[in-house]
């Protein structure tokens, strides 16, 4: 097998060279290509991907540098049931993760990987997560036989020479080995070895399964590193909110997959709220540390966005639409007759001659979606017209508020403020949300998704919640914690709240609660504004309608408490006592039994 260029001319890390050799001996590729992240390399790989039918050029006049990828129809979302945490013991993975013994996993996947790259190219993809030169930053190297992965990684991460420079002669890097294995669902396993800083992923080419920098490293492995090292790796967007006086405050928000992070991070303020601006620091992942001032500081470890396409329009998220005007990869969207893109909820009628996400002619009469519900765009964050000037700040940004939020048709009010850190952690810990198309399986089922990390926590969830509580001791100036729900529905099944840009009104209330004098009423489950406490200037909704979105329904909360209680029981021994106590106090205040589901 040949290597371009020779490893010795590229890296001083003996450990890296040895590991690449080891992977090559196992998988037996025809050639090894070390990626350097250059523009020349992008052109070359793109041409090869087009030649191989992996990428389809879009209309280069309308969308310069943009390409379409159609995935195997059996490989369109993360697959949680074949995702494993391979810690030494089952207890370390905890009750919410699939566990496989490390020896068994290495053996099982090793057998699948044996000779698996014969006839193929092995890409060695070094990357940095976090701003260059930052104490937050970490190096990873992904080895993959997928040219789509290589091209995506150069958008999503700081890929190539910069990573090898940061690594130097060190052996401290995440080792990610990925092989597509013909995309056979029977051979699909995503295995994490936190104790070895290693990920082995086989049988899938899909985003979160295959771009190992993202959920695998920056959340599952990093959450575990964060516990060892005293910081937090979270499934959170980070935004800067600038008021008319020009002061900017930063907010981090955790919502489950396909529940609104990218949209909130790029929010376009409503015209009626003059002088307010939102800037994006990150749209999916936050690495958070205690800063020298005793507050929490956050960075976005990524370099691009892997965003949900359907529902994105010039009306709902104009900044996202502008971010995909050039140099974007689209996966599983529909293609127009003139080589442009289209998806449901783009707010332009489906043009004639549309080709669906599988490459077949589409007609509205088919009753099928033209774009896959989990179709996505991959685009450099530099394309974002409202990218924060601090998005690459090595120090990160100081966090004033943390938000947890789910997709809930009932129960959860538009916004809820916690009483203190422990109550806020309780809110995050008991969060529920309806499942979405971002993961394979049934859509629309409410499940407990603590801190939006259920599929992404790399260790025992009880210990994870304990780590959140423990962090408080090191934070002299803790951010305030809130809960939101943009997705509550009325009796007719319509969203009660218009969402998107209008969500700014809720963020403004939060900042006014922290730094100003906005009002709220106390309830057993937290503090809630009355409609009169929110700035509703220019909003086409009556105060009564807003109050409906803010209502706390005792009957709904009885079920909510029971469901949270069941989840806590499932966590078992490792559940922190303080959270159990908070649960009991709230249940008592609501006058309900804390452990058993109520009839009706």
Which residues lie near ligand GTP (CB under 6 A)? 255, 257-263, 283-284, 307-308, 310-311, 316, 438, 486-487, 495, 499-500, 503
SS3 state of residue 330: strand
CB-nearer residue toward ligand GTP: 137 or 496: 496
In sequence order, the 6+-apart residues with CB closer than 8 A to the CB of 154 are 35, 37, 41, 42, 160
Please list every residue from 243 through 262 that binds ligand SPV, using CB under 6 A. Answer: 257
Name residue 152's beta-bridge partners.
Answer: none
Residue 438 near ligand SPV by CB under 6 A: yes
The nearer residue to ligand GTP, 162 or 549, going by C-beta atoms, is 549
Cβ neighbours, 10 Å, residue 18: 12
Out of 35, 179, 216, 259, which one is annotated catalytic?
A: 259
- 208 touches ligand SPV by CB under 6 A: yes
CB of 82 to ligand GTP, least distance (A): 18
Residue 295 contacts residue 315 (beta carbons within 8 Å): no
Nearest residue to ligand SPV, by Cβ distance, number only: 208
Taking CB under 5 A as the rule, does residue 284 contact Mn ion?
Answer: yes
Of the two residues 168 and 441, which places its CB atom closer to ligand SPV in the complex? 441
* Beta strands 198-202; 189-193: pairing state: antiparallel
Smallest separation, CB 215 to ligand SPV (Å): 4
Q: Which two tokens stand for residue 1?
A: 């097998």
Q: Does 306 bind ligand SPV (CB under 6 A)?
A: yes
In angstroms, what is the minimal distance from the CB of 216 to ligand GTP?
14
Specify the residue, 222 or 438, whose C-beta has the smaller distance to ligand SPV.
438
CB of 7 to ligand GTP, least distance (A): 35
> Strand locations in 229-366, DSSP E?
232-234, 236-242, 248-254, 277-282, 286-290, 296-299, 304-308, 329-331, 334-335, 341-342
CB 374 within 8 Å of CB 340:
no
Taking each helix axis from N to C terminus, what angle separates 577-590 and 421-429, rounded to the nearest 10 degrees?
90
35 is catalytic: no
Q: Which is it for the CA torsion 462, 434, 232, 505, positive or negative?
A: negative
Which among 12-20, 87-95, 206-214, 419-427 is the span making contact with ligand SPV, rule CB under 6 A?
Answer: 206-214
Of 268-287, which residues contact ligand SPV (CB under 6 A)?
284
**Measured from the CB of residue 558, what is the shortest distance to ligand SPV in angstroms?**
31
| 319 vs 138: CA distance, rounded Å | 29
Q: Where are the alpha helices (DSSP H) in 453-550?
A: 461-471, 504-515, 543-549
Cβ proximity to ligand SPV: between 291 and 428 the closer is 428
- Residue 513 as a binder of ligand SPV (CB under 6 A): the answer is no
**Residues annotated as part of the active site:** 259
Residues forming the site for ligand SPV (CB under 6 A): 78, 207-208, 214-215, 257, 284, 306, 438
Residues forming the site for Mn ion (CB under 5 A): 257, 284
């Amino acid at each position: 097998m040949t290597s371009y260029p020779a490893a010795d001319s590229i890296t001083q890390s003996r450990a890296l060279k040895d590991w690449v050799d080891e992977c090559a001996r196992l998988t037996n590729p025809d050639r090894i290509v070390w990626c350097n992240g250059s523009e020349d390399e992008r052109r070359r790989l793109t041409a090869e991907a087009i030649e191989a039918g992996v990428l389809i050029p879009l209309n280069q006049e309308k969308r310069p540098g943009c390409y379409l990828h159609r995935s195997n129809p059996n490989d369109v979302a993360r697959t949680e049931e074949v995702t494993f945490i391979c810690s030494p013991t089952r207890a370390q993975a905890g009750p919410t993760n699939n566990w496989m013994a490390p020896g068994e996993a290495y053996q099982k996947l090793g057998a699948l990987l044996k000779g698996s790259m014969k006839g193929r190219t092995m890409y060695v993809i070094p990357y940095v997560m976090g701003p260059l030169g930052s104490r937050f930053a970490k190096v990873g190297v992904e080895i993959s036989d997928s040219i789509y992965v290589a091209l995506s990684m150069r958008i999503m991460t700081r890929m190539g020479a910069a990573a090898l420079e940061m690594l130097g002669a060190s052996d401290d890097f995440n080792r990610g080995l990925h092989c597509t294995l013909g995309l056979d669902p029977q051979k699909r396993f995503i295995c994490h070895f936190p104790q070895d800083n290693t990920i082995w992923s086989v049988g899938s080419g899909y985003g979160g399964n295959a771009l190992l920098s993202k959920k695998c490293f920056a959340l599952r492995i990093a959450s575990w590193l964060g516990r060892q090292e005293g910081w937090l790796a979270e499934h959170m967007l980070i935004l800067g909110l600038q008021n008319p006086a020009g002061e900017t405050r930063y907010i981090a928000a955790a919502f489950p997959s396909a529940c609104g992070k990218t949209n909130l991070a790029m929010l376009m303020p409503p015209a009626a709220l003059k002088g307010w601006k939102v800037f994006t620091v990150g749209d999916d992942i936050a690495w958070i540390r205690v800063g020298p001032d005793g507050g929490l500081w956050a960075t976005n470890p990524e370099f691009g966005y892997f965003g949900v396409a359907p529902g994105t329009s010039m009306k709902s998220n104009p900044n996202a639409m502008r971010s995909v005007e050039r140099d974007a990869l689209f996966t599983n969207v529909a293609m127009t007759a003139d080589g442009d893109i289209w998806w449901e909820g783009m707010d332009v009628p489906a043009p004639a001659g549309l080709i669906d996400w599988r490459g077949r002619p589409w007609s509205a009469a088919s009753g099928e979606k033209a774009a896959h519900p989990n179709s996505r765009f991959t685009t450099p964050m530099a394309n974002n017209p409202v990218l924060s000037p601090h998005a690459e700040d090595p120090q990160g940004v100081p966090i004033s508020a943390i938000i947890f939020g789910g997709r809930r048709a009932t129960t959860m009010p538009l916004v809820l403020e916690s009483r203190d850190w422990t109550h806020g952690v309780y809110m995050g810990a008991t969060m529920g949300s309806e499942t979405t198309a971002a993961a394979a399986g049934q859509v629309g089922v409410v499940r407990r998704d603590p801190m939006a990390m259920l599929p992404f926590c790399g260790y025992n969830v009880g210990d994870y919640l304990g780590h959140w509580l423990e962090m408080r001791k090191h934070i002299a100036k803790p951010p305030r914690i809130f809960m939101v729900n943009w997705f509550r529905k009325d009796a007719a099944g319509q969203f009660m709240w218009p969402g998107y840009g209008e969500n700014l009104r809720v963020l403004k209330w939060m900042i006014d609660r922290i730094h100003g004098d906005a009002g709220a009423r106390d309830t057993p489950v937290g503090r809630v504004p009355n409609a009169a406490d929110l700035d509703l200037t220019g909003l086409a909704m009556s105060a009564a309608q807003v109050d409906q979105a803010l209502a706390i329904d005792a009957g709904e909360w009885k079920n909510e408490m029971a469901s949270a209680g069941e989840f806590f029981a499932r966590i078992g021994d490792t559940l922190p006592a303080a959270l159990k106590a908070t649960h009991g106090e709230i249940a008592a205040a609501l006058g309900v039994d804390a452990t058993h589901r109520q009839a009706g």
